[in-house]
Amino acid sequence: MATPATPNSAAKVEPLTKRKSWTALQSHYEAIRGQHLRSLFAEDPKRGERMTAEAIGIFLDYSKNRITDKTVKLLVQLAEESGLRSHIDAMFRGEKINFTEKRAVLHVALRAPKDASIVVDGQNVVPEVHAVLDKMAAFSNRVRSGAWTGHTGKRIRNVINIGIGGSDLGPVMAYEALKSYSDRAMTFRFVSNVDGTDFAEAVEGLDAAETLFIVSSKTFTTLETMTNAHSARDWSLAALGGDEKSVAKHFVAVSTNATEVAKFGIDTANMFGFWDWVGGRYSMDSAIGLSTMLAIGPDNFRSMLNGFHQMDEHFRTAPFEENLPVLLGLLGIWYNDFFGAQTVAVLPYEQYLKRFPAYLQQLTMESNGKHVTVDGSDVTYSTGPIYWGEPGTNGQHSFYQLIHQGTRLIPCDFIAFAQPLKPLGPHHDMLLANVFAQTEALAFGKTPEQVKAEGTPDWLVPHRVFEGNRPSNTILATRLTPETLGQLVALYEHAVFTQGAIWQINSFDQWGVELGKVLAQRIIPEVASHTETPLNHDSSTNNLIRRYRKLKA
Ligand code: F6P
């Protein structure tokens, strides 16, 4: 029996580990864990062509994984037994699959075409989505053309997005990724950290008369964002002669909370809305992407949405064995739950994707970092792995040593594009040669015989041997465009969904971030106090607060 897509009672679900496909995968793992990719490739010359999938211009080579055709078959069976198809349908139908917060999960509606219909609580949300997109486009065009001016009549040349988590990571990642499509006459900066340095550096050298702040916060109550927004207001007002009227020209908001936006002093006419069915980490294509649209223009933004939508449709309709996000998600489960791998390295060989690993960290870890199943019982297997990474080739000269010769198994996703956005002599061929060389070295390594044959003295041989058998996926597309970026982000969104559905967890809440927020609120007045107020924490926390108070004086 599959896990219900929208759990509505405390009814117990059938444990994942009791599924037929799960137990079959366990015995299959025991049977093939010792097999080397060298022999898998040697025995099956067509493997590198067969174990691939391609859709909407994205090519996935998953042949350098420690799998056989049977592994794929069993993993697909696991997806079927887990009711993945009905989970997908429930999401697209707008069911409240985020059942702990009683919310639908409809980032797919953010990129649905105008004529689509997705109903939440009896209402088709697609027209609202397009109304906000149109409002964003009109605003972006006014700012980009200079028609929207600041308080003193100067045109806006600088845009600062203030937000954190999903209200920052998506915007900053997309801006960096699509910089080559952006208006270079404008400056874009991002403030997230409550560390005052972040704000100070973001406004450094900027003329307040030419600076627009976008306060991006779903809730409009997040401590970091509201603190930075108030500092921005003070900075802007101080530079513009203290006229409160200037706020309307230099501040806009992106939020679901009109009441708090108005309280802050931003005219709600300058507010771009979204909905509680958009999770923070799934919001870069909602109004949270306003800074992206200002940078690349409405047409490019729409083409990014189109890329997202293409992947949504592929995910919704393609058979699992050809379905890119499903395959990526299943392979992740294979390493996480059977090989015991604890992390996944994401290695974009594209400098513009330098913030992509950081973006994926929130997407994957806030979604699948869960320890209870939908019926509230403790999971008896590992859920979300740790995601990390850096753009190639830089990582090769730092942490790849551990991936090649360390004691841990680290599955890697290599991401590359055939055409560079900035062609420069031999650079791109060199870059791509490194992608192929790394995946080859990881998979096949170098045997002691090969090392010896190079004339290496015996004592040095063990140090120079590469065990190989280190798995990787290669994701290859033609060119990094707004459309490809949308496809790529949706690929990972749906891989996360696939895994969450199989692990029987709710990928769409994030209660784990609450406790620290509550405790910080309690400690703020204690650390700010000039008098020695009594402290009632544990002895370590009390001692640290006392020491901080002394040192800061
Ligand atoms: O603290 C986690 C979180 O709730 C994220 O899920 C979210 O993206 C971020 O904070 C920011 O929240 P908001 O957009 O409401 O300011």
Give the pLDDT of residue 9.
Answer: 53
> What is the DSSP code (8-state) at residue 378?
B
CA 540/CA 16 separation, integer angstroms = 40
Residues 524 and 343: beta-carbon distance below 8 Å: no
What ligand 1 atom has the least distance to the C-alpha of 283?
Answer: 8
| Residues assigned a catalytic role | 366, 397, 517
Give the pLDDT of residue 455.
Answer: 98
Give the pLDDT of residue 13.
Answer: 86
* Look-up of token digits 């429930």: 90
CA 401/CA 178 separation, integer angstroms = 31
Give the pLDDT of residue 30.
Answer: 98
- Measure the CA dihedral 292/293/297/300, to 10°: 80
Burial classification of residue 481, based on how many CB atoms lie within 10 Å of its CB (0-12 exposed, 13-18 middle, 19 or more buried):
buried
Pocket test for ligand 1, best of 168, 272, 510, 511 (most atoms within 8 A of CB): 510
Q: Whose CA is nearest to atom 3 of ligand 1?
A: 165
Give the pLDDT of residue 143.
Answer: 98
Binding pocket residue ranges, ligand 1, CB within 6 Å:
164-167, 217-219, 222, 225, 280-281, 366, 510, 513
Expressed in angstroms and rounded, the spacing between residue 166 Cα and the centre of ligand 1 is 6
Expressed in angstroms and rounded, the spacing between residue 86 Cα and the centre of ligand 1 is 28
CA angle 397, 398, 399 (to 5 degrees): 125
What six digits make up the tokens of 305?
Answer: 């949405």
Residues 338 and 26: beta-carbon distance below 8 Å: yes
Q: Whose CA is nearest to atom 9 of ligand 1?
A: 165
Residues 327 and 311: beta-carbon distance below 8 Å: no
What ligand 1 atom has the least distance to the C-alpha of 280?
Answer: 8
CA angle 316, 320, 324 (to 5 degrees): 75
What ligand 1 atom has the least distance to the C-alpha of 164?
Answer: 11
Burial classification of residue 368, based on how many CB atoms lie within 10 Å of its CB (0-12 exposed, 13-18 middle, 19 or more buried):
buried
386-388 and 158-162 as β-strands: parallel, antiparallel, unpaired? unpaired
Tell me if residue 476 falls in helix, strand or coil. Answer: strand
Q: Whose CA is nearest to atom 16 of ligand 1?
A: 217
Give the pLDDT of residue 10.
Answer: 57
What ligand 1 atom has the least distance to the C-alpha of 222?
Answer: 16
Expressed in angstroms and rounded, the spacing between residue 470 Cα and the centre of ligand 1 is 35
Which residue from 334, 320, 282 is spatially nearest to 169, judged by alpha carbons? 282
What six digits make up the tokens of 452?
Answer: 């010896």
Give the pLDDT of residue 426.
Answer: 98
Expressed in angstroms and rounded, the spacing between residue 226 Cα and the centre of ligand 1 is 12
- HSE-CB at 429 with a 13 A cutoff on CA atoms is 2
Q: Whose CA is nearest to atom 6 of ligand 1?
A: 280
Expressed in angstroms and rounded, the spacing between residue 193 Cα and the centre of ligand 1 is 12
Residues 34 and 532: beta-carbon distance below 8 Å: no
> Can you say whether the dihedral through the CA atoms of 451, 456, 457, 463 is positive or negative?
negative
> Phi first, then psi: what are they for 265, rounded to 5°?
110, 10
What ligand 1 atom has the least distance to the C-alpha of 167?
Answer: 14
Helix (H) or strand (E) holding 214: strand 211-216
Expressed in angstroms and rounded, the spacing between residue 175 Cα and the centre of ligand 1 is 19
Count of other CB atoms within 10 angstroms of residue 77: 17
Which residue from 533, 527, 531 is spatially nearest to 549, judged by alpha carbons? 527
Residues 188 and 161: beta-carbon distance below 8 Å: yes
Pocket test for ligand 1, best of 222, 254, 507 (most atoms within 8 A of CB): 222
Strand extents, DSSP E, 428-551: 472-479
CA 89 to chain centre: 22
How many residues appear in the chain? Answer: 553
Q: Which stretches within 65-160 are classed as H helix?
A: 69-81, 84-93, 126-145
Residues of the chain with pLDDT under 50: none
Residues 511 and 501: beta-carbon distance below 8 Å: no
Find the farthest-apart pair of alpha carbons in the chain and give their distance in angstroms, rounded: 78
Expressed in angstroms and rounded, the spacing between residue 267 Cα and the centre of ligand 1 is 22
Residues 213 and 229: beta-carbon distance below 8 Å: yes
Give the pLDDT of residue 8.
Answer: 62
* Look-up of token digits 């964003």: 136
Expressed in angstroms and rounded, the spacing between residue 265 Cα and the centre of ligand 1 is 21
Q: Which stretches within 204-278 are classed as H helix?
A: 223-239, 247-250, 258-264
Residues 494 and 329: beta-carbon distance below 8 Å: yes
472-479 and 58-61 as β-strands: parallel, antiparallel, unpaired? antiparallel
Pocket test for ligand 1, best of 105, 107, 162, 164 (most atoms within 8 A of CB): 164
The whole-model pTM stands at 0.97
Pocket test for ligand 1, best of 101, 162, 167, 496 (most atoms within 8 A of CB): 167
